[in-house]
């Protein structure tokens, strides 16, 4: 079984950008409910289908398969329900640990989140200075939910809550 153990944080500041290399991502959902989702993603010149289960704690099942780029382009254009997620993903190394920082565009412009994959749920993580409030357990920040209710449609209060990210705060 393929398992993903991941934590997600809002990003504060831009110190992370100095060493980051970015890749454009476009993705949409062919199917999603509360138990699972099926996503099509184009990352650079490669394309993938990914099946994910609902999360239990920080963990969920994830199965990813590379597919032909033209197939993914057709799926994004005609089969995905709702809008698309557009973002640039940056790989950032901090204290020997790889993080990914997603800078969203389109309907989710203004949202910047960082994710770190872990080997176990109880693994200790030293947060970079630019990692703000943890949002792992907040379903609003799941990409599948950002398609249905993009960041641009959040109320001022919801955006303010997102902007008040204090380092290390759960």
Q: Active-site positions?
A: 29
* Token couple for 36: 């699972």
CA–CA distance from 60 to each of 67, 70, 112, 121, 167 (Å)? 22, 29, 22, 11, 25
Cα separation, 56 vs 109, in Å, equals 28
90 closest CA partner among 103, 81, 101? 101
Three-state DSSP state, 147: helix
* Token couple for 160: 């303010």
Cα separation, 135 vs 122, in Å, equals 17
């Amino acid at each position: 079984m393929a398992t993903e153990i991941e934590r997600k944080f809002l990003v504060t500041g831009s110190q992370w950008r100095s060493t980051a290399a970015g890749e454009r991502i476009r993705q949409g959902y062919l199917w999603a409910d509360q138990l699972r989702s099926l996503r099509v993603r184009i990352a650079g010149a490669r394309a993938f289908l990914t099946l994910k289960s609902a999360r239990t704690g920080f963990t969920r099942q994830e199965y990813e398969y590379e597919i032909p780029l033209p197939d993914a382009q057709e799926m994004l254009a005609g089969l995905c329900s709702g809008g698309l997620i557009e973002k640039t993903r940056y790989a950032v190394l901090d204290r020997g640990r790889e993080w990914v920082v997603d800078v969203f565009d389109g309907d989710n412009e203004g949202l910047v989140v960082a994710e770190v994959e872990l080997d176990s749920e109880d693994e200790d993580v030293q947060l970079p200075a630019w990692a703000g409030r943890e949002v792992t357990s907040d379903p609003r920040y799941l990409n599948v939910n950002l398609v249905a209710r993009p960041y641009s449609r959040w109320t001022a209060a919801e955006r303010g809550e997102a902007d008040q990210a204090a380092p290390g705060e759960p």
